[in-house]
Amino acid sequence: MAKSSPRKKRTQPEIPWSPRPEGSKDLVWRYPNNPILGRRAIPCAQAIYNSAVIPFEGRYVGVFRADHLNGMPNLHLGWSEDALSWKISNDPIKFTGGDAAYRSGYGYDPRVCRIGADYFITWCADYHGPTIGVAKTRDFRKFERLENAFLPNNRNGVLFPRRIGGKYAMLSRPSDGGHTPFGDIFYSESPDLCHWGVHRHVMSSGSLWWEGVKIGSGAVPIETDKGWLLLYHGVRSSCNGFVYSMGAALLDLEKPWIVRGRITGPILMPELDYETTGSVPNVVFPCATLHDEKDGRIAIYYGAADTHVALAFAWRDELVAEILKYPVGK
Amino acid sequence: MAKSSPRKKRTQPEIPWSPRPEGSKDLVWRYPNNPILGRRAIPCAQAIYNSAVIPFEGRYVGVFRADHLNGMPNLHLGWSEDALSWKISNDPIKFTGGDAAYRSGYGYDPRVCRIGADYFITWCADYHGPTIGVAKTRDFRKFERLENAFLPNNRNGVLFPRRIGGKYAMLSRPSDGGHTPFGDIFYSESPDLCHWGVHRHVMSSGSLWWEGVKIGSGAVPIETDKGWLLLYHGVRSSCNGFVYSMGAALLDLEKPWIVRGRITGPILMPELDYETTGSVPNVVFPCATLHDEKDGRIAIYYGAADTHVALAFAWRDELVAEILKYPVGK
Amino acid sequence: MAKSSPRKKRTQPEIPWSPRPEGSKDLVWRYPNNPILGRRAIPCAQAIYNSAVIPFEGRYVGVFRADHLNGMPNLHLGWSEDALSWKISNDPIKFTGGDAAYRSGYGYDPRVCRIGADYFITWCADYHGPTIGVAKTRDFRKFERLENAFLPNNRNGVLFPRRIGGKYAMLSRPSDGGHTPFGDIFYSESPDLCHWGVHRHVMSSGSLWWEGVKIGSGAVPIETDKGWLLLYHGVRSSCNGFVYSMGAALLDLEKPWIVRGRITGPILMPELDYETTGSVPNVVFPCATLHDEKDGRIAIYYGAADTHVALAFAWRDELVAEILKYPVGK
Amino acid sequence: MAKSSPRKKRTQPEIPWSPRPEGSKDLVWRYPNNPILGRRAIPCAQAIYNSAVIPFEGRYVGVFRADHLNGMPNLHLGWSEDALSWKISNDPIKFTGGDAAYRSGYGYDPRVCRIGADYFITWCADYHGPTIGVAKTRDFRKFERLENAFLPNNRNGVLFPRRIGGKYAMLSRPSDGGHTPFGDIFYSESPDLCHWGVHRHVMSSGSLWWEGVKIGSGAVPIETDKGWLLLYHGVRSSCNGFVYSMGAALLDLEKPWIVRGRITGPILMPELDYETTGSVPNVVFPCATLHDEKDGRIAIYYGAADTHVALAFAWRDELVAEILKYPVGK
Amino acid sequence: MAKSSPRKKRTQPEIPWSPRPEGSKDLVWRYPNNPILGRRAIPCAQAIYNSAVIPFEGRYVGVFRADHLNGMPNLHLGWSEDALSWKISNDPIKFTGGDAAYRSGYGYDPRVCRIGADYFITWCADYHGPTIGVAKTRDFRKFERLENAFLPNNRNGVLFPRRIGGKYAMLSRPSDGGHTPFGDIFYSESPDLCHWGVHRHVMSSGSLWWEGVKIGSGAVPIETDKGWLLLYHGVRSSCNGFVYSMGAALLDLEKPWIVRGRITGPILMPELDYETTGSVPNVVFPCATLHDEKDGRIAIYYGAADTHVALAFAWRDELVAEILKYPVGK
Amino acid sequence: MAKSSPRKKRTQPEIPWSPRPEGSKDLVWRYPNNPILGRRAIPCAQAIYNSAVIPFEGRYVGVFRADHLNGMPNLHLGWSEDALSWKISNDPIKFTGGDAAYRSGYGYDPRVCRIGADYFITWCADYHGPTIGVAKTRDFRKFERLENAFLPNNRNGVLFPRRIGGKYAMLSRPSDGGHTPFGDIFYSESPDLCHWGVHRHVMSSGSLWWEGVKIGSGAVPIETDKGWLLLYHGVRSSCNGFVYSMGAALLDLEKPWIVRGRITGPILMPELDYETTGSVPNVVFPCATLHDEKDGRIAIYYGAADTHVALAFAWRDELVAEILKYPVGK
């Protein structure tokens, strides 16, 4: 079911993997050695979570949300051979570009996306409220800051890994300036990664409780011949605050604002200690995937309890088949 | 102090029991092997909690709140010889009765009550907001759905185990449609389990913090010759959300809207890990008791952290004697 | 279109009337001498509004909301020959019935309904929150207090003027204890005006702004051969508070929880000074109608700005015909 | 002080005018015959307010917010010889462009802007929340709907009357979906009126009470040789809701996100009956100006109390001189 | 009933007066020529209201809340021969005292109190939130700023006109920093007008609606031989915001935290146009009285609709006698 | 850097201590055997936390917040030889002083301060809302209740350990009656510990997230020759409620309302299980220090998760030096 493309020829290092536990019928299962990162992983940080990884030149590079000892989140670069054991810089990423609009008191919840020879980081930057910061790199050494994609308040900006209809394409979630008790996913396009328009509504928060408050895109969508596979987070409100879980949907390949299918339930909910306990209890927040295009294995990186980076696994074709059992008539 | 009645002659299986720990003066103490149910107890469910059990034909039957993998709560039937080890159906209970008012997207927090030869389930159903669903069975195979007892919004409907003044009697807690920051217990009566009236205010949320936000009935009241023994939950608001604890009161036998006594403090607060950590931290939520009428031992089933079913124990006569130290002048 | 019934034979005094203004196409138009009651109409009251009138023994009797000089609302009786000029008692109505549940610190927004030889007042009473008080009279001298119809919180209880399916029938609007930012109309029935059940949802707040926040029944429904003609209020939220307007719907004759039609827009919105200015600006709140069954003229009594009683007119058959242009597929 | 430009050569009809009242030192004064439009100005509408006018082919054309009898706001076209007496169509403006993103349940608070030979309407449209609708016309007969400028939620989108740095330029006010208790003015630019970017913060809500809650652009900025003259609204919160007043600022000609000056106080506050009373009390909401470039007279069209269109006057050079007394160090 | 004291010997100019209207039984009635001040009474101000007056050297002096054209409130001095026609300075009062704690961006709702040869102004000043500013004068030319009386947030500070138990005494109303949805009156004492302590709760917001949200002291208490006569404001919440009315209570002469009586209803509610319409609809806010000690006539100055100064009248002994019909058992 | 004073001559028992862990660069580190107190430490209490200790007559005395089994907090006395192992009374402290203003339904978050020969307890008492209770003892046997320091609502009252400018001095945090989403630290002084005045603003909640919601004083300030060393708590709002961390600042010795320095980040955040899990997750709340004046070692007592007493350590001179890297220009 994987799309046949020249991308297959890149030599990608082996992705992390762990088979589905005996007897389990879950579509998504956890890495037994979770969490892989967490408290005090580098000297300057209290915790590392909600982070993105991508293959680059035969190994893995990651952009990590590191909450510093002063409590503020920053983006840090890390390198790994196996995508499990990480060497993370103790200094935040430095962006070139001196415009005042780019100066941000913080940066959090990064995603990384390859489009051709360019790699883009999108994240939650601060410009009179949270909005989508965008930066470009080719070598993960120099990072050029581009214009913020949207007016505040916005979060969870996720690029598509190729142009669609000749335009760059991004999903985002308009928000308010606080903990935002609402939120749908929208699609926008751009000829130049500077000016954005043709905004289209994609998905609303859901009718089931687990995603009844708001939703937000998670990982860069995976292209399949049935559509774009989108892993996202859904949020419910318990009497003790928000609970974040993971969901899955399939977007039309050429008109991604059309939802082809969407599993009604979550595919991963907070259950284990490192998900239910930490700086923010009960958070599962997907930010990135590694994908073996040949056999369809997917490794999902998700933040746990705003404290840890954890890992889960799934089969691409199983996810797609399951999603297609829940077609969406739009 | 137990009421002498023909009911004693029923052959009831032995109730679970564990003696009060050495040195403890607590009125209520926990089962050392808690929790007895929790995460993934059946394939379709993420967690089981806030559930009710009752003796039936020489063994035990339970109606369980099972939060499905799609995050929505449903009622499931289970059977046990010892009321500790449960065999729970993977399919939700099916009710007969096709009226549109009975179609509910969910069902949660069940209670089970025997009145003569009939067994009634009351629970939180959905009819333009949460309200009290009612169903009748004689065999725990066929379940006949009756009219919802009240207008929305209402939760925590608990029947009395016999008619009072010739009428069916129910406690309930008028609510709002969300997480409800208020709530008192009311008494209502019915000639036919269909039409309800003569609504009487029973108890307000309390003056002490632990029950300062709202209260709700827990288990079916236990008849004693001093009055109806009511175990209920009280809720306080911490700066991190609601905390649910267990309280005890005694209601007048023939005019149950008159409170004869009410312990000012809680009889069980969240303390142990399975109560302070889970999908909703810090919840102790009583839903049912098993009662040995001969010697007055009580086994209390309570939900823990919206994740587990746990068990605690008490002596009926001790509870009643303690409550009567706190008479309520109404 | 009026239903042929023995009631036509009662000698009803002429209803107030004023023809539709030249050039107007409005379905509902105002009495030119509005308001007919308001500030200081009786010595004990600051204002009179939201009140109900009904023909009785050849003249008119009214139950008035009089906000006393102490600011609290009370129900007062008044008499009139022409339903325009009123002689209102300076003493509140006294109800017999000593039950504590009937003692209310206030009473407001009354409706009056004849069912056979009995006249019923329903209003917003206080019993641990607002709920529906009910009283019966045959002579408008002695008023027997019946049980409150529902648990708090509820408002806008309106009886139907005959039994339906052998049962008394009432519309009401479950509320919260404050200014209630939500609210739908429900239908309930009772064999004895004491116990209520078989609750059915009738209408939700609307999709257009003018009734987007909540709705509530207004006047006792008028029976027509097309259905029950219901005048109700709809509420929108401006950036300066709530705005109340008047709407119209038609309910099925024998299953009144089925809406046969509902005009999408309001039929009267606050426009004139006595509607936009007063103790609560921008309120039009219908509570009663007088109806000439022979020719179909309707006089509508509505509260204006929580300060005045005003009067508007309409043709029954025009309203019904207009409503039927907006059928509701339920 | 007016900018010398070829635009002066257009034959513009005389603008409405009324001299400053004797003894007044106010910068802005009202038209004595206010309001010029209001309740029931056309058959289909309850009220007309918050509207924009512009000279076109020797007379005036206006785009009006008409709240229909069903309570929903729509955009209507009107024509006038003197900009005081208006003939307004009873049918809403019809836009070409069939994309689903353009279908809106309502349209309100229009502004009209000429850029070269094109005229643009911007207004508050509905696309999963309020956002900025954009349409183009050359003849005020055919109106072509363009892409919405931004993601929701946004309001008060106002175009500049020429390209700046080669780009179209718009001011807007990111909002929430309700009555929005916050709001600053931002600047965005576009190469094609479809894709928008390079977002810059312009002005925050103010330190004085009258504009302490939020601000929003009002009329299309007037170009002067000192900068862009911006009339805007500021909002304070009284204990009875929001109060809208009018303010004035001067933006840099080529970098309009730089504020050159801003009068600390309001230049018009609600005082007269048609401003303090109506559907929403205490609203003064500027939407358009007519400007005599030769002598610098300005006629300001503002909505009053969400019920009326009113008119006020000022001298351009006086406003600019006053603003420059309040330089803003950014 | 007036207290016999040397103060009677001061030559006080005649107070304004207008007899009770024919047929009225109201305890308090309005001045027919109301309002006496309002919009644009001085060039710098948009409105004047919530102000205090006092006799001084054979004529009257007033401290006025003037809302400037920039929307911010300031304190202004005025002089009058008859206390009806006022000459008000266009410049705010200047206070000596350079401490940073005294620098306030605004000043509002002043009260003036004579204690012996000193006159004190108390008002709502700004020191990290609203709190009670205090200033002293002997000649109404030089005003010495004293320490703010309390920590923020506080409003409605009113001094007693003599020491009690050897201490200065003040009533105040702890508040929040916004529109404060709660508020009781407290009593505090001071040896030196700098340090305040021995705080005592005096009165809660009331059980009747008109004062159900909060209360605040109004005028300087009038000493009678039955106790201190206190005119105060009470606030209710309508669905369109707050409504302010006037109430009356009697405090114990030597222990003023003991309430001797309190009329359950308001003695003046917003009814007339200048009270129901203006910058803040429906406000009656008493700030001062003039009192003819010989015959007991009282002239009450109150703010109306946050726009006007209005005047009402009452007989001291009637008020006291009425209050004593409502004794308060504390 | 420690101040040379006669106090050094008191024989103080050795303070608890544990060296900084190998490799750590943290300014503050935890006691490895944490927590030292918690659940059920005495029979009457569910948990002990947020407590203060002080050396007295060669050993240690503590005033503990014990949440009783009825859920209400009370102050209990305890004694210890090593300040680690505590013998705590099962009875709450009894205060002399019969004034009604002193009767409080609860007492919590105590601090203890020696001034000369007197020891003072300050805590959160209840007098129509939370406020600062004050009591004096010389022997920790008799406790004399003094006047409450401030009007409600106030919390976190902390005395300075000597008079400043001849006056007693206290820090406090004006609050609201609930969970208070705001809060700055203020300074007040008193000649007699009864009357308080000269209120000065000290510090606002911070610009970094960890203290963005509110701050409150923690331990009695430690006098150094660079200023008063203040340990305090700062609060952020996560989407699951408040998170409490510890901060440090230096106040001017003679004008303590002047901040000399303030570390921008927290010096201790919730990380370990006993801090992230318990009755209120994610709370670190400092209440007291023990200080070896000779070498500058500090033992910090802090409440953890509203459940435990925990201990951390620091070097005074390191803290002061670090703070001085963050000077505050006030």
Question: How many angstroms separate the CA of residue C101 from the nearest CA in chain B?
Answer: 7
Q: Quick one: pLDDT at residue F329? A: 65
pLDDT digits (tens, 9 = 90+) for B273-301: 999 999 999 999 999 999 999 999 999 99
Chain C residues inside the 8 Å CB shell of D71: 208-211, 236, 245, 265-266, 269
Averaged pLDDT for residues E277-285: 96
* pLDDT range class, residue D5, cuts 50, 70, 90: very low
User: Residue E102: in which H helix or E strand, if any?
Assistant: none
Residues 6+ apart with CB under 8 A from E317: E1, E2, E224, E296
Pair of tokens at residue A61: 């590079």
What's the mean pLDDT in E20-37?
A: 96
Determine the pLDDT at residue B329: 65
Which pLDDT belongs to residue A5? 43
Touch between F and B (at least 3 CB pairs under 8 Å): yes
Q: Is the pLDDT at D3 greater than 50, yes or no?
A: no
- What spatial distance separates the first Cα and last Cα of chain D, rounded to whole Å? 24
Mean pLDDT of F206-216: 94
Using CA atoms, how far apart are residues F287 and F312, in angstroms rounded to an integer?
Answer: 12
Cα-based torsion angle of the residue sequence D236, D237, D241, D243 in order, rounded to the nearest 10 degrees: -10
Q: A77 pairs with which residues across the strands?
A: A63
Instruction: Measure the CA–CA gap between A175 and A155, rounded to whole angstroms.
Output: 7
Can you tell me the mean pLDDT for C266-288?
96
Res. D130: pLDDT tops 60: yes
What is the mean predicted confidence (pLDDT) over E51-71? 96
User: DSSP states of C67-82 as a string?
Assistant: EETTS-EEEEEEEESS
Beta pairing partners, B187: B171, B200
Nearest in space to B120 (alpha carbons), one of B105, B132, B138: B138
Phi, psi of A319 (to 5 degrees): -60, -50
Q: Are A133 and A110 in contact (CB under 8 A)?
A: no
CA distances from C175 to B124, C157, F108 (A): 19, 11, 37
Which residue type occupies C257?
Answer: W
Average pLDDT value for chain B:
93
* Nearest C-alpha neighbor of E157 from the set E233, E114, E216: E216
The alpha-carbon gap from D29 to the nearest alpha carbon of chain E, in Å, equals: 13
Task: Tokens for F271, please give them.
Answer: 């990380």
The whole-number average pLDDT for the span E18-26 is: 94
| F265's tokens | 């980040």
Distance spanning both ends of chain B, measured CA to CA: 24
- Report the pLDDT averaged over residues E210-236: 97
pLDDT tens digits for range F50-68: 999 999 999 999 999 999 9
Domains and CATH numbers, chain F: 33-323 (2.115.10.20)
Q: What are the residues of chain A with a beta carbon less than 8 Å away from any beta carbon of chain B? A: 25, 208-210, 236-241, 243, 245, 264-266, 269-271, 273, 276-277, 281-282
Q: Do C174 and B153 touch (CB under 8 A)?
A: yes
Nearest CA in chain C to D239: C240
Q: How confident is the model at residue B103 (pLDDT cuts 50, 70, 90)?
A: confident
Do F228 and F169 contact (CB within 8 A), yes or no? no
CB contacts, 8 Å: E277 with chain C: 277
E20 CB neighbours in chain C (<8 A) are none
User: Which residue among B208, B237, B240 places its CB closest to the CB of F281?
Assistant: B240
Residue D145: exposure state from Cβ atoms within 10 A (0-12, 13-18, ≥19): buried
Tell me how close the Cα of A270 comes to any Cα of chain B, in angstroms: 7
pLDDT score of E128 more than 70: yes
> Which residues of chain D lie closer than 8 angstroms to A127, CB-CB?
199, 201
- pLDDT for F280-298, tens place per residue? 999 999 999 999 999 999 9
Chain Cα centroid distance, residue A220: 6
- A273 CB neighbours in chain B (<8 A) are 277
Task: Report H helices in chain D.
Answer: 273-276, 316-323
D153-212 per-position pLDDT tens digit: 999 999 999 999 999 999 999 998 889 999 999 999 999 999 999 989 999 998 899 999
In this structure, are residues B152 and B130 in contact, taking their beta carbons and an 8 Å threshold?
yes
Whether the pLDDT of residue F317 is over 70: the answer is yes
Instruction: List Cβ neighbours of A98 (8 Å cut-off, separation of 6 or more).
Output: none
Maximum Cα interatomic distance, chain E, rounded to a whole number of Å = 55
What is the Rg, in whole angstroms, of the alpha carbon atoms belonging to chain D?
18
Output the furthest CA–CA distance in chain D (Å, rounded).
55
Position C97 confidence tier, pLDDT thresholds 50, 70, 90: confident
Residue A58: count of CB within 10 angstroms of its CB: 10
F90 CB neighbour count, 10 Å cutoff: 10
Task: Please state, in angstroms and rounded to a whole number, the distance separating the CA atoms of residues B98 and C42.
Answer: 55
Q: Are A263 and A247 a contacting pair, CB within 8 Å?
A: yes
pLDDT of residue C3: 41
Which of D70, D243, D275 is the best mutation test for C, with the most CBs of C within 10 A?
Answer: D70
Residue A313 above 60 pLDDT? Answer: yes
CB-based burial, B298-311: b 16+ in 10 Å, e otherwise? bbbbbbbbbbbbbb
Q: What distance in Å separates the CA atoms of residue A38 and residue A92, rounded to the nearest whole number?
A: 17
Residues A290 and A16: their CA atoms lie apart, in Å, by 8
Per-position DSSP letters for F110-137, written without gaps between them: EEEEEETTEEEEEEEEESSSEEEEEEEE
Spatial distance between the Cα atoms of F147 and F196, rounded to a whole number of angstroms: 10
Digit-coded pLDDT (tens) for C154-184: 999 999 999 999 999 999 999 888 899 999 9
Q: Is the predicted pLDDT of residue D146 greater than 70, yes or no?
A: yes
- Residue C90 CA neighbour count, 13 Å, CB half: 5
Instruction: Report how far apart, in Å, the C-alpha atoms of A30 and of each of A274, A291, A301, A309, B45 are.
Output: 12, 16, 10, 12, 17
Task: Decide if A296 contacts A315 (C-beta within 8 A).
Answer: yes
* pLDDT for residue B101: 80
The yes-or-no verdict on residue D221 having pLDDT over 90 is: yes
What gap in Å lies between CA D215 and CA B252, rounded to an integer?
61
Return the SS3 of F230.
Answer: strand
Q: What is the pLDDT of residue C329?
A: 66
| Spatial separation of the C-alpha atoms in residues D268 and D302, rounded to whole Å | 10
CA–CA distance from B214 to each of B114, B183, F181 (Å)? Answer: 27, 4, 22
pLDDT reading at A200 higher than 70 = yes
The per-residue pLDDT of chain A, averaged, comes to 94
Give percent of chain D above pLDDT 90: 88
d(CA A233, CA D260): 44
Shortest CA distance from D241: residue in chain C: C240
Structural element, H or E, at residue F322: helix F316-323
Provide φ and ψ at E47, rounded to 5°. -160, 155
Looking at the DSSP assignment, which residues form a beta bridge with residue A188? A170
| pLDDT recorded at residue A7 | 43
pLDDT tens-place string over residues F164-181: 999 999 999 998 888 999
Q: What percent of chain E has pLDDT over 90?
A: 85
Predicted confidence at residue D105, as pLDDT, reads 81
All residues of chain E having their beta carbon less than 8 Å from the beta carbon of residue D265 are 68-72
- Whole-angstrom Cα distance, residue C52 to residue C48? 11
**Omega of the bond prior to D152 within 30 degrees of 0, cis?**
no
Q: Give the pLDDT band (50/70/90) at residue E4.
A: very low
- Widest CA span in chain C: 55
CA nearest to D234 within chain E: E71
Question: How far is B314 from chain F, CA to nearest CA, in Å?
Answer: 16
The per-type count for chain E, helices as H runs and strands as E runs, is: 2, 22
Q: How confident is the model at residue F69 (pLDDT cuts 50, 70, 90)?
A: very high
Query: How large is the greatest C-alpha to C-alpha distance in chain F, in angstroms?
Result: 55
**What number is the average pLDDT over the span F218-232?**
98
H/E segment holding residue D241: strand D241-251
Contact B174, B152 (CB under 8 A): no
d(CA A41, CA A65): 12
Three-state secondary structure call for residue C150:
coil
| Residue F11: predicted pLDDT | 65
Test mutation, D28, D208, D240, chain E, max E CBs within 10 A: D240
- Cβ–Cβ < 8 Å for D276, E316: no
pLDDT at D61: 98
Report how far apart, in Å, the C-alpha atoms of C223 and of each of B182, C219, C250, D25 are: 40, 12, 10, 64
Q: Is F9 helix (H, G, I), strand (E, B) or coil?
A: helix
Computed over every residue of chain C, the mean pLDDT equals 93
pLDDT of residue F4: 40
Least confident of B261-270, C90-99, D313-322, F230-239: C90-99
**What's the CA gap between F317 and F3, in Å, rounded?**
11
Chain B and chain E touch, per 3+ beta carbon pairs within 8 A: no
Residue C323, phi then psi, degrees to nearest 5: -60, -40
